[in-house]
């Protein structure tokens, strides 16, 4: 299915042989891309995907027939990002890049120096951005975009993980000292907002099992730090020679 256009469908759509695309996706298929009956595309629902052939492309809607059983996506490693809410479009960028790199979830966190609660409209926007980014990068699954909560609640919501790292400008121990050669099936990253994390917040995360690390001598922006850290974890776990990306299914990095 590599190279085929991808379109989002509701969770139950892939259980049927005939698929009707919702208005937004139908408009993209018919009016923007000008696809035609007979063209093959991929339909995905956030956990599964299937190849389909378009049967009707018209102003009244777009319908397709499923060509194969749906395949479940598989994540060889689950990485969650706990992100102090950033200003302006930076959270949009974090969600988009996090989806592209393969994050399992994004937890917007209300830290002491973060913005106030952004409201449901912005959270809905982040979820739409994740959906569009998944289409672009070839993911069959969607990251969970959680509602903003205080740090303590986000840690509880996240549940137990094998590794919790906190890039912090006052730490001198490189991240490689913590993760190199370490096997983990789940990990989480905590990133502060523009003003960073307070010493009390860092202490609370350490008490919860978190490990502070350095990403190097340069100071990274909040929208950069989490993505860089996730890339490092993915490399150590999956891409370093001798890594063990899971075979079968649809592997999502």
Q: Are residues 222 and 102 in the same domain?
A: yes
- pLDDT at residue 106 is higher than 50: yes
3-state secondary structure of 225: helix
Report the pLDDT value the prediction gives residue 109, as an integer from 0 to 100: 95
Q: Are residues 95 and 171 in the same domain?
A: yes
Q: Are residues 198 and 95 in the same domain?
A: yes
Report the distance separating Cα 244 and Cα 27, nearest Å: 40
- Write out pLDDT tens, residues 197-240: 999 999 999 999 999 999 999 989 999 999 999 999 999 888 77
The answer as to whether 92 is a domain residue is yes
| Residue range of the domain that includes 52 | 6-72
The answer as to whether 193 is a domain residue is yes
pTM reported for the whole predicted model: 0.79
The stretch 117-128 carries a mean pLDDT of 92
Burial 130-159 (b: 16+ CB within 10 A, else e): bbebbbebbbbbbbebbebbebeebbebbe
Report the distance separating Cα 130 and Cα 136, nearest Å: 10
Q: Are residues 61 and 111 in the same domain?
A: no
Write the DSSP symbol of residue 141: B
Report the distance separating Cα 12 and Cα 27, nearest Å: 21
- pLDDT at residue 248 is higher than 50: no
- Write out pLDDT tens, residues 135-152: 888 888 899 999 999 999
The answer as to whether 110 is a domain residue is yes
- Write out pLDDT tens, residues 48-93: 889 999 999 987 899 999 998 998 877 778 999 999 999 889 999 9
* Distance in angstroms between the alpha carbons of the first and the last residue of the chain: 17
Report the pLDDT value the prediction gives residue 243, as an integer from 0 to 100: 53
Report the pLDDT value the prediction gives residue 91, as an integer from 0 to 100: 95
Of 72, 91, 117, the residue at which a domain comes to its end is 72
- pLDDT at residue 251 is higher than 60: no
Report the distance separating Cα 60 and Cα 75, nearest Å: 37
- pLDDT at residue 176 is higher than 50: yes
> Do the beta carbons of residue 25 and residue 16 sit within 8 Å?
no
Beta carbons within 8 Å of 34's beta carbon, 6+ residues apart? none
């Amino acid at each position: 299915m590599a190279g085929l256009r991808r379109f989002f469908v509701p969770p139950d759509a892939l259980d049927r042989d005939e698929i009707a695309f919702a208005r937004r996706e139908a408009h993209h298929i018919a009016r923007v891309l000008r696809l035609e009956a007979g063209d093959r595309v991929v339909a995905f629902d956030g956990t599964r995907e299937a190849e389909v052939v378009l049967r009707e492309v018209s102003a009244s809607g777009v319908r397709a027939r499923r060509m194969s059983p749906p395949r479940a996506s598989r994540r060889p490693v689950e990485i969650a990002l706990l992100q102090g809410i950033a200003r302006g479009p930076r959270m949009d960028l974090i969600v988009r890049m996090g989806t592209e790199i393969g994050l399992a979830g994004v937890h917007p966190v209300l830290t002491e120096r973060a913005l106030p609660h952004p409201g449901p409209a912005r959270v809905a926007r982040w979820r739409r951005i994740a959906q569009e980014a998944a289409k672009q990068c070839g993911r069959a699954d969607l990251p969970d975009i959680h509602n903003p909560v205080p740090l303590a609640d986000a840690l509880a919501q996240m549940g137990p993980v094998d590794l919790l790292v906190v890039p912090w400008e006052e730490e001198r121990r490189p991240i490689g000292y913590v993760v190199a050669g370490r096997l983990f099936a789940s990990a989480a990253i905590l990133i502060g907002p523009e003003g960073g994390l307070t010493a009390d917040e860092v202490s609370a995360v350490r008490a919860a099992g978190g490990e502070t690390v350095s990403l190097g001598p340069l100071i990274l922006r909040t929208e950069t730090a989490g993505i860089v850290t996730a890339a490092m974890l993915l490399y150590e776990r999956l891409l370093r020679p001798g890594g063990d990306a899971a075979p079968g299914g649809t592997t999502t990095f």
